[in-house]
Structure 1
Amino acid sequence: MKKLLNDPADIVAESLRGVERAHPEIRVDHENRILYRADAPVSGKVGLLSGGGSGHEPAHAGFIGPGMLDAVCAGEVFTSPVPDQMAEATKKIDGGAGVLHLVWNYTGDVMNFDMAAELAAAETDTAVEAVVMNDDVAVEDSLFTAGRRGTGAAIAVEKIVGAAAEQGRSLSELADLARRVNDASRSMGMALTSCTVPAKGSPTFDLPDDEIEIGIGIHGEPGRRRVPLASAHDIAEMLVDPILADRDFTGGEGVFVFVNGMGATPQLELYLMYNEIAALLDKAGIVPVRTLVGPYVTSLDMAGCLVSITRFDDDMLRLWDAPVATAGLRWGM
């Protein structure tokens, strides 16, 4: 294992100190490992909370700021935060209009966010709603989930709902919007290599040089199948075809296409993949109106990519284009 670290046991704590130094607009509660907007709570605005295991950067900390999240909880690498963290974060961002939990569908995260909502309601009377994001089409159940996994659609959900929260929409309206964006999204990923968790010091799974894994999760969970290494054109078909078979993406205002790098794949290859994906969408009569290409939901040092497609309506398109100022996404400010 070759990584930039001191002690593997300290990697999350030391990384959070780096985030705090690099981004003064983000405050860090180091005891509870909570990152939140420096101006939180924002009076009269619904607070948006997400989070999960570390190792997916810039998700989750990279999406804190005006136009997106108010706070995130950081767990250990690939490990859910605990309910006390989430309850404390909920209290920190409650500006009087309630708090929406945006939860990636992994068993530990769902269970702990549920417990946190109960704690926050009991201690502060904070109104809390939760939306579980479950866009992955690869598998119905996995080592980490009951039902479909939450993957790339979280970027669309958090950005769009974040913009709507800035407009002053109510807690129930934001929860409905989050569910609508999630329902309009489907994702599928693949791996060229495994990743290496620092505490383990060796690859999570063995993947021969001449094989790839189709349908992986963001923690390196197994996918649908292992196949021989193929061309980018063929890999694009293996990712796009199951997505299009699972949902109708025609009509509306067009689609948002997100080609995510898993951590070790260069932009050169990701844009090549987008070219192949766009050609398949053209053939299917599907019109991309917004795109995002790059490593936004990573899996440490895994090589590979994830494709996420969201069918936009008028409201989603306007909210996607609305200003955002975070470390990971920034425009219009």
Structure 2
Amino acid sequence: MKKIINDPSAVVAEALRGMALAHPELIRVRPDPAVVVRADAPVAGKVALVSGGGSGHEPLHGGFVGRGMLDAACPGAVFTSPTPDQISAAVEQVHGGAGVLLIVKNYTGDVLNFETGAELAAAEGVDVRTVVIDDDVAVKDSLYTAGRRGVAGTMLLEKIVGAAAERGTDLDGCEELARRVVANLRSLGLALTACTVPHAGEPSFTLAEDEFELGVGIHGEPGRQRLPMEPADQLVARLLGPVLEDLPFAEGDRVLLLTNGMGGTPLVELYLAHGIAEKLLADKGIVVERRLVGSYVTSLEMQGMSLTLLKLDEELTELWDEPVNTAALRWGI
């Protein structure tokens, strides 16, 4: 294992220390329990958005803390759910009197721990709501979940609901909006290589040089199929087909397309894949109104990619375009 680390057990703490030093104008970091909080929190009268999950998916979630997105993120150990005390501490740090919305990826540990954290916060009189995201169309159940997994669509949800909260939308409105986004969001990923969790010291699974895994999870969970390697045209078509069928998306739909890298994929390959995806969508009469290309929801150094489609309407498009100022996503400022 070659990684730029010291003690494997201290990776997250040391990374958070560096993140705080790199972005003091955007965030502050509470070390114990570990919470990343926007620098001006709590914002009085604003619904606070809190998310989190295992580390190793950076920039998700801490990189999306700031104006127009999250108020706080709870980073667990690598590929490990945050603890309830982290979640209740985050709520305490950012609650500005208008309630708190928790955005939770659908993994059993995340759901249970966020539920406990919400109960702790509610006992202190905070109005806390929870929305679970399950955008992965690969498998219905997996090693980590009951039902579908939450994957790259999470950052689109955080951006859109974060913009609404910044506008002053109340807690009921933010919760309804979040559920509407989840209902119109679908993703699918593939892996060319496995990743290595620092404390494990070896790859999480094995792929032959001429194989890829279709439908892999962001923790390296198995997907739909292990197949012989193919050219990019075929790989992108294999990703896009199940995504389009699942909602389903149809001719005339307006969409946001996220072409997301898993951590070890060069940007040149992501742009190549994105171009193929846009052409396939245009051939089906689906209009890509907004797009984003890059590594936003990763799996350490895994080589691979995912495609996410969100069906847009006027409100969702406007909220996507609203200003955002975070470490990993910034425009309109």
- For normalisation by structure 1, the TM-score amounts to 0.98
Separation in structure 1 between the aligned mates of residue 167 and residue 77 of structure 2, nearest angstrom = 34
Q: How does 1:7-22 map to 2 (within 5 A)?
A: 7-22=7-22
Question: In the alignment, which residue of structure 1 is the partner of 2:58?
Answer: 57
Separation in structure 2 between the aligned mates of residue 240 and residue 295 of structure 1, nearest angstrom = 18
Separation in structure 2 between the aligned mates of residue 56 and residue 186 of structure 1, nearest angstrom = 18
SS at match of 2:131: strand
The CA deviation at 1:309 is 0.3
Question: In the alignment, which residue of structure 2 is the partner of 1:5?
Answer: 5
The CA deviation at 1:85 is 0.8
User: Are 1:35 and 2:26 matched, yes or no?
Assistant: no
**Aligned pairs, number:** 332
Question: In the alignment, which residue of structure 2 is the partner of 1:224?
Answer: 224
Please tell me the residue identity of whatever aligns with 1:59.
L
Question: In the alignment, which residue of structure 2 is the partner of 1:146?
Answer: 146
Question: In the alignment, which residue of structure 1 is the partner of 2:239?
Answer: 239
SS at match of 1:265: coil
Question: In the alignment, which residue of structure 1 is the partner of 2:167?
Answer: 167
| Superposition CA RMSD, Å | 0.9
Separation in structure 2 between the aligned mates of residue 282 and residue 293 of structure 1, nearest angstrom = 17
SS at match of 1:43: coil
Please tell me the residue identity of whatever aligns with 1:26.
I
Separation in structure 1 between the aligned mates of residue 268 and residue 90 of structure 2, nearest angstrom = 38
- The 8 Å contact of residues 252 and 312 in structure 1, kept in 2 or not, is answered as no
Cα deviation code 1:5-35 (max 9, x no counterpart) = 0111110000000000001021111011000
- The 8 Å contact of residues 68 and 325 in structure 2, kept in 1 or not, is answered as yes
- The 8 Å contact of residues 135 and 148 in structure 1, kept in 2 or not, is answered as yes
Question: In the alignment, which residue of structure 1 is the partner of 2:111?
Answer: 110
Q: Moved runs in structure 1, 4+ residues, more than 3 A?
A: 250-253
Separation in structure 1 between the aligned mates of residue 31 and residue 41 of structure 2, nearest angstrom = 16
Unaligned ranges ≥5, structure 2? none
Cα deviation code 1:87-117 (max 9, x no counterpart) = 1111111100000000011110000001111
Q: How does 1:61-140 map to 2 (within 5 A)?
A: 61-122=62-123, 124-140=124-140
Separation in structure 1 between the aligned mates of residue 152 and residue 286 of structure 2, nearest angstrom = 19
Cα deviation code 1:131-172 (max 9, x no counterpart) = 000000000000011100001111111000000001111111
Quick one: percent identity of the two aligned structures?
56
SS at match of 1:315: helix
The CA deviation at 1:253 is 6.6
User: Are 1:296 and 2:296 matched, yes or no?
Assistant: yes
Question: In the alignment, which residue of structure 2 is the partner of 1:46?
Answer: 47
Question: In the alignment, which residue of structure 2 is the partner of 1:281?
Answer: 281
Cα deviation code 1:169-194 (max 9, x no counterpart) = 11111011011111111000000000
SS at match of 1:285: coil
The CA deviation at 1:249 is 2.5
Separation in structure 2 between the aligned mates of residue 158 and residue 92 of structure 1, nearest angstrom = 18
Please tell me the residue identity of whatever aligns with 1:249.
F
The CA deviation at 1:279 is 1.4
Separation in structure 2 between the aligned mates of residue 278 and residue 46 of structure 1, nearest angstrom = 35
CA 1:253/1:230 → structure 2, altered by over 3 Å: closer, same or farther?
A: closer
- The 8 Å contact of residues 105 and 145 in structure 1, kept in 2 or not, is answered as yes
Please tell me the residue identity of whatever aligns with 2:8.
P
